[in-house]
Amino acid sequence: VVSNVPFGGVADRGGNQLLDNRYQKEPLQNYFILRSLEKLRPGGLAVFITPPRCVSGKGGKEEELRIRASYLAEFLGAYRLPNAVFGTASADTMTDVIAFRKYSRANLDKIAELREQAPATLIAANVQWQPFIHGRYFDDEGKRFVLGEFVPKNPDKFRDVDRVITQASVGEIGQMLKKFPDSRVNWAALDGTETTPIVYRDGDTITQAGETLQMQDGRWVALARSEQSFEASRLLGQLADPYRAFENRITWKQATELIDYLVQTSQAIEIPDWLRGVANSLKPLATPAEQASFWQAGIVGMAASQVIEERLGEETGFDFLAAYSALSDAMQRVSSVAKRRPGLLGGALKQ
């Protein structure tokens, strides 16, 4: 498997997560990496081009990705490429190339048993290799695989980014690629740990690849998701950012019902930050009608601001009216509402 995986949050999947029952709550890059490792044949290699957070992100979904991937395949190593490799202003970012080798069928079975019966062994034997799991790979062993000089971002500069800088050409960078070390897994320790085959009975449930399965009549059956859960996932995709909310004509009622559902089902972490901020800004307003009115005007304004910010880096400029005629019409429609925004409003919505 060789892939330049797309990356973004759960909402950026735009409802497409409904097409696959597995890993529906995973960000884009996590889904593509984990699903690819599942499909990879035992002993096969996978190489992914990813944003740096997949290897170096601390905690949260990034660490969870590394834990889950390590149950499926051994992390062989990663290269950190110079920012200039992809060459455009819109891609001014470091990029990592991560390599995995899928475990053999026998080792996958053994790891599954140890995961249930002796998980500490998986850490001791480097299946769950801690420098990788905790995002410290490039702090030590991986330093020699940074293909240039690392320059951290300047906190005093607006929107500065971490950089890997080199004067080498792409061809010369290719020659800088060094061989990764041999397997760091202590296979003898794994083989020497006694386990018993896992026995399941009807009614038992497991979660595999983010999907809940139940043993029924001796076989695993995926438990159906509720219609409400499907609708919530669809709406999350349509509320990934203000422009998508505008495009999909999401109402204040739809947004609040989604937020309530996610809170009630302990999924509040899935609420996009921008939506959480807008909801908090609207709460002080007296009536639902007033909230709905300023929701509509605010979404139009935030969508326009988002479009301009995203396209500011284009050298040729763009014709807003021609490119975003629907948004331009909406700005005219809501301008009178926007002008009388109350002092109770705050944050990005007020701006």
Q: In which residue are the tokens 């309530």 written?
A: 260
- The answer to whether residues 114 and 121 touch, using CB atoms and an 8 Å cutoff, is yes
CA-derived radius of gyration, the chain: 24
Helix (H, G, I), strand (E, B) or coil at 208: strand
Question: Rounded distance, CA 138 to CA 57, Å?
Answer: 11
The predicted model scores a pTM of 0.64
Total number of residues shown for the chain: 351
pLDDT at position 159 is 59
Q: Which two tokens stand for residue 83?
A: 């920012």
Q: What's the first-to-final CA gap in the chain, in angstroms?
A: 46
pLDDT at position 178 is 86
Question: Rounded distance, CA 33 to CA 66, Å?
Answer: 10
Written as one letter, the residue type at 277 is G
The helix or strand, by DSSP H or E, that contains position 165, with its residue range, turns out to be strand 163-165
What are the angstrom distances between the C-alpha of 279 and each of 259, 296, 299? 9, 12, 11
pLDDT at position 89 is 45
Written as one letter, the residue type at 262 is L
DSSP secondary structure string for all residues of 73-98: EEEEEEEEE-GGGS-SGGG-S-EEEE
The helix or strand, by DSSP H or E, that contains position 100, with its residue range, turns out to be strand 95-102
Q: Which two tokens stand for residue 33?
A: 């990496």
- The answer to whether residues 7 and 28 touch, using CB atoms and an 8 Å cutoff, is yes
User: What is the chain's pLDDT, residue by residue, as a tens digit (351 residues)?
Assistant: 999 998 887 778 888 888 887 888 888 899 999 999 999 999 999 999 998 889 998 877 888 899 999 999 999 999 998 887 876 544 567 889 999 999 999 999 889 888 878 888 999 999 999 999 999 999 989 889 988 888 877 666 655 667 788 888 888 888 888 899 899 999 998 888 888 777 788 887 776 666 677 888 888 888 776 677 778 888 888 888 899 999 999 999 999 999 988 887 767 767 888 898 899 889 888 899 999 999 999 999 999 998 888 777 665 677 888 889 999 999 999 999 998 888 888 778 888
Beta bridge partners of residue 97, listed in sequence order: 49, 79
Question: Rounded distance, CA 130 to CA 136, Å?
Answer: 8
pLDDT at position 208 is 65
Helix (H, G, I), strand (E, B) or coil at 104: coil
Binning the chain into helix, strand and coil, the percentages to the nearest 5 are 50, 15, 35
Closest CA to 69 of 11, 1, 133, 124: 133
- The answer to whether residues 164 and 82 touch, using CB atoms and an 8 Å cutoff, is yes
Bridge-based pairing of strands 2-4 and 45-50 is parallel
Q: Which two tokens stand for residue 273?
A: 């930050």
By the 10 Å C-beta count (0-12 exposed, 13-18 middle, 19+ buried), 22 is classed as middle
- The answer to whether residues 70 and 39 touch, using CB atoms and an 8 Å cutoff, is no
Q: At 215, phi and psi to the nearest 5?
A: -75, 120
Q: In which residue are the tokens 């097409």 written?
A: 19
Question: Rounded distance, CA 262 to CA 244, Å?
Answer: 19
Beta bridge partners of residue 101, listed in sequence order: 45, 74
- The answer to whether residues 3 and 36 touch, using CB atoms and an 8 Å cutoff, is yes
